[in-house]
Structure 1
């Protein structure tokens, strides 16, 4: 039986909590595959799991996104076969590994036109953008969306997605360089969260009206300002906690600020049905192959440097996507 170098959490904590073990690779059981990774995506949700913000049953694997080649399949697996190039976002944690045995259901076939690194950079982030723009609230060409943070892996995909569909996206990011990067990728305007007032600038850019939708992945530090950036009857999509968990608040605040709507979705609810996942992935891949979305990978690290990748992401010292290479 072969083994694979695998990240394991025996306790939650800082990046130093990531331990490494040589884990055996048994033959896949019914509904499972043996997958050899070629690239692994790093996402902020990995930090939530590692830190304990999202509780885990320990010991646990780490990582939700990867791409590679199937080496073996178990009984009953029909939609993928040995030798297939595949990618995934979701399923049991454990992507930080050279290879793994995992359920086949989260896997989608990867078109030859998309590299393993591109897939590891776009699956979780791109599917997140898909559900934000197409499955949460109706967003039409000409609508104005405020997106933050706009210069990370998810934000840069969102900028491109909005541009491809005629949606005006105002991107908020930390610093002039990150704002310029967001504009380069399709943001119509940007707000520098280090030097400008988020809500006041969003209202100025909309002639005092406010934006139709806010997509906020920052969380605690921007929550109230994001609500204040909305027009009456606007929608706040709080989809991440990069700055920490949003504090409890009086629901009456939504009424006082203009009968606002608020939702806190997760990608994994949207892709729980494998048939829905495959449709979403096909639409995402179509945008990548057409060139409407070009995944930007600014950080490539060996798998063994996962802790350093987490430190950089937490320090907001990254742009675009980070991938780990086994």
Structure 2
């Protein structure tokens, strides 16, 4: 019987348990996929820990994956058995060898894009597109500040921003990770543990600060990030791996700062059919054109708890995957 990784309730990595998950026959508008890969993302940790609630009836984690269609229901358009596909979004459940999904969620993979790459890029790739094109449409020569520049999302934001012609300041947590951020294309890399990174960001970015800041760290970092953005710029708060974010007073965003603060959600973005279609097509085209999304760590499906522990502890860089 196919294997899956489920939780009975919130907690640490130890609550992740291997279970048998019977394969289900796809109904109208559905496809059953034999998966080869699942991405592991911080949003999975938020669900596992209880920060984000589980959907009723769904206790298998994971929002993105890729594989091959092995069965189809009726009314599935031009999809066929044997097609390679990837996806992101609800319903949760990509930590599984086999799963059944609505075909509206599936993205057919073009030639030259592997399941391995697509299945580890959908969530972060669409997140990067969302913040660079929807949250704040970045233009050539504008400055983007991205935290955790050596991480999977940080590297994709950097590469896609550089493709637009923007300039990127990345922050990292250690000197050892600086080279990774530079390799991704960052124009400058700063330690966010240093006491002067905000001032340095403003100095480098024309003495005024970044046009867009992408903060997936959270905690007390967000209030510092606000100070690194120029007037009429934007801060995109994407997560809180450093812990809960203290309340932000509206006065902190008004004159003389006059900046915007957004809390965009890639899952909400992917739930919009047109945005999902456009974003997925653009991402596949970028991957075909050579967009690099390195995989920093891979684990067998049964070792999902170790993957969570390593990601949570900051022992990984780039994308983290589970293989089937």
TM range (shorter): over 0.9
Q: Distance in 2 between matches of 1:130 and 1:170?
A: 17
Contact 1:121 1:153 in 2 (8 A): no
Matched residue, 2:150 = 151
Q: Deviations over 1:84-129 (max 9, x none)?
A: 1000011211100011112221110011201111112211111110
Matched residue, 2:37 = 39
Q: Distance in 1 between matches of 2:282 and 2:195?
A: 36
RMSD: 1.4
Q: Distance in 1 between matches of 2:243 and 2:104?
A: 31
CA offset at residue 51 of structure 1? 0.3
1:243 counterpart = 2:242: yes
Contact 2:11 2:50 in 1 (8 A): yes
Contact 1:121 1:296 in 2 (8 A): no
Q: Distance in 1 between matches of 2:269 and 2:113?
A: 23
CA offset at residue 314 of structure 1? 0.5
Q: Distance in 2 between matches of 1:88 and 1:215?
A: 23
- One of 297, 301, 316 as aligned partner of 2:314: 316
1:168 counterpart = 2:172: no
Tell me, what secondary structure is at the counterpart of 1:77? Answer: coil
Q: Deviations over 1:230-258 (max 9, x none)?
A: 11222111111121221223211111551
TM-score in terms of structure 1 length: 0.95
Q: Distance in 2 between matches of 1:279 and 1:52?
A: 32
How is 1:31-180 mapped onto 2 (pairs within 5 angstroms)?
31-57=29-55, 60-180=59-179
The number of equivalent residue pairs is 323
CA offset at residue 276 of structure 1? 2.7
- One of 287, 292, 296 as aligned partner of 1:294: 292
Matched residue, 2:13 = 15
CA offset at residue 196 of structure 1? 4.6
1:217 counterpart = 2:216: yes
Runs of 4 or more consecutive aligned structure 1 residues displaced over 3 Å after TM superposition = none
Q: Deviations over 1:295-319 (max 9, x none)?
A: 1011111111110001111111111
User: Structure 2: where are the runs of 5+ without partners?
Assistant: none
How is 1:177-216 mapped onto 2 (pairs within 5 angstroms)?
177-216=176-215
- Cα–Cα, structure 1 residues 80 and 91, in superposed 2: closer, same or farther, change >3 Å? farther
TM-score in terms of structure 2 length: 0.96
